[in-house]
């Protein structure tokens, strides 16, 4: 008897189809209309979003995307596809690995439908966010559940009769295999350097402080990840710092802000800073522009030498990361295959 196929969906936020305002606008509309992201009442938020933000921001964002766009397309999509292909190679023939982007294509419905067309009846959803946040992980849960159920909302019409079994990968912000993957990645980046960095900034995507105060565990998990990585790297307490980036709107956000930290470094005697994001596993606008380009400018504006600023890329499809990810999926597939496969990297 043939072994059943196990479906795997790698879930990411998304990216516009092109680096222009026409493509950025619908992406931002979907992203900023998700009440997991912006939880203001639609009666208050939508007029502001459609009347002002979507008239101004797409053009500005498109210019940023243009600066990082690759010949073959969006960096986030290209790296995500490489992760999908790499994980498929790791897991082998008993698995089918799909990719789902929350606010662009290929979407969750498309990924789910493709797996079901291959006869998959059991699916493991892997949010590519090591730390849980209602703005990321919970959005993936929403999208996966509705796509599996075949409905747009809890009260909407049903479009499917059969619903596949779902398992969601838990957070892995403190998993030894994840910490080890980041350590090996950083050591590889630093190995050829003669003048090593004298300070490290670990930058995480921020959330409004109000979200944390009402139950989102994200900041606490970020601090745990940063501490464990610093311990693994053997960094002294005074040689590294956590920060949070990507602030939006007038609300108070968790801090300290990455911008403020970078602007202060030169004045603190730091000459060769390194910045890395342990909360993002795939290079995107936030890392390639906000950290690598704007971050360098912030450091220079505070008196630092721009050429001495080092921005380390995300894990992307590095071998250690894919090893850990494959082990995580195999661990969560236990009981769904006739013979348990040995986990790796966990």
Class for the domain spanning 176-311: alpha beta
pLDDT, residue 153, reads 74
Please say whether the beta carbons of 103 and 142 come within 8 A. no
Class for the domain spanning 6-16+74-171+319-332: alpha beta
Domains 6-16+74-171+319-332 and 176-311 share a fold: yes
pLDDT, residue 246, reads 84
pLDDT, residue 154, reads 74
- At 1, the pLDDT band (50, 70, 90 cuts) reads very low
- At 184, the pLDDT band (50, 70, 90 cuts) reads very high
Measure the CA–CA gap between 324 and 322, rounded to whole angstroms.
5
Helical spans, DSSP H, in the chain: 21-33, 42-48, 54-68, 75-91, 108-117, 137-149, 176-190, 209-213, 218-233, 258-265, 285, 294-301, 319-332
- At 345, the pLDDT band (50, 70, 90 cuts) reads very low
pLDDT digits (tens, 9 = 90+) for 269-310: 999 999 999 999 999 999 999 999 999 999 999 999 999 999
Share of the chain above pLDDT 90, in %: 89
pLDDT, residue 332, reads 96
Q: Does the pLDDT of residue 4 top 90, yes or no?
A: no
pLDDT digits (tens, 9 = 90+) for 22-68: 999 999 999 999 899 999 999 999 999 899 999 999 999 999 999 99
97-101 average pLDDT score: 97
Q: Is the peptide bond before 106 cis (omega within 30 degrees of 0)?
A: yes
Task: State how far the alpha carbon of 186 is from the alpha carbons of 115, 196, 278, in Å.
Answer: 35, 12, 11
315-331 average pLDDT score: 97
Domain boundaries, the chain: 6-16+74-171+319-332, 176-311
Contacts of 186 (CB under 8 A, 6+ apart): 233, 276, 312
- At 339, the pLDDT band (50, 70, 90 cuts) reads low
pLDDT, residue 57, reads 94
pLDDT digits (tens, 9 = 90+) for 200-251: 999 999 999 999 999 999 999 999 999 999 999 999 999 999 999 988 778 8
Helix, strand, coil percentages, rounded to 5, for the chain: 45, 15, 40
H or E element that contains 162: none
Q: Does the pLDDT of residue 155 top 80, yes or no?
A: no
Q: Is 75 helix (H, G, I), strand (E, B) or coil?
A: helix
Q: Which of 2-11, 86-95, 123-132, 166-175 has the lowest mean pLDDT?
A: 2-11
pLDDT, residue 346, reads 44
More confident residue, 157 or 173: 173
């Amino acid at each position: 008897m043939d072994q059943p196929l196990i479906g795997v969906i790698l879930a990411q936020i998304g990216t516009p189809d092109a680096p222009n305002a026409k493509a950025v606008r619908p992406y931002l509309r979907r992203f900023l209309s998700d009440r997991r992201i912006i939880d203001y009442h639609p009666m208050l938020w939508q007029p502001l979003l459609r009347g002002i933000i979507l008239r101004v921001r797409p053009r500005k964002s498109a210019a940023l995307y243009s600066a990082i766009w690759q010949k073959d397309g969006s960096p986030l999509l290209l790296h995500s596809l490489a992760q999908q292909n790499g994980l498929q190679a790791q897991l082998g023939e008993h698995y089918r690995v799909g990719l789902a982007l929350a606010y662009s294509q290929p979407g969750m419905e498309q990924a789910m439908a493709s797996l079901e067309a291959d006869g998959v009846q059991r699916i493991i959803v892997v949010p590519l966010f090591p730390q849980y946040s209602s703005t990321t992980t919970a959005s993936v849960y929403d999208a996966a559940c509705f796509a599996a159920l075949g409905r747009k909302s809890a009260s909407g019409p049903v479009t499917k009769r059969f619903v596949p079994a779902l398992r969601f990968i838990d957070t892995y912000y403190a998993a030894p295999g994840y910490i080890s993957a980041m350590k090996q990645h950083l050591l590889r980046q630093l190995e050829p350097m003669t003048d090593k960095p004298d300070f490290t900034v670990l930058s995480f995507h921020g959330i409004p402080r109000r979200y944390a105060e009402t139950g989102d565990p994200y900041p606490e998990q970020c601090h745990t990840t940063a501490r464990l990585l610093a311990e693994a790297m053997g960094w002294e307490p005074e040689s590294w710092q956590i920060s949070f980036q990507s602030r939006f709107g007038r609300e108070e956000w968790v801090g300290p802000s990455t911008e403020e930290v970078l602007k202060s470094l030169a004045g603190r005697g730091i000459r060769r800073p390194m910045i890395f994001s342990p909360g993002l596993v795939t290079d995107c606008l936030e890392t390639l522009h906000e950290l690598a380009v704007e971050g360098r400018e912030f450091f220079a504006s505070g008196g630092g030498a721009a050429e001495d600023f080092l921005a380390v890329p995300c894990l992307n499809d590095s071998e250690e990361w894919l090893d850990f990810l494959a082990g995580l999926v195999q661990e969560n597939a236990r009981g769904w295959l006739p013979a348990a496969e040995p986990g790796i990297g966990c």
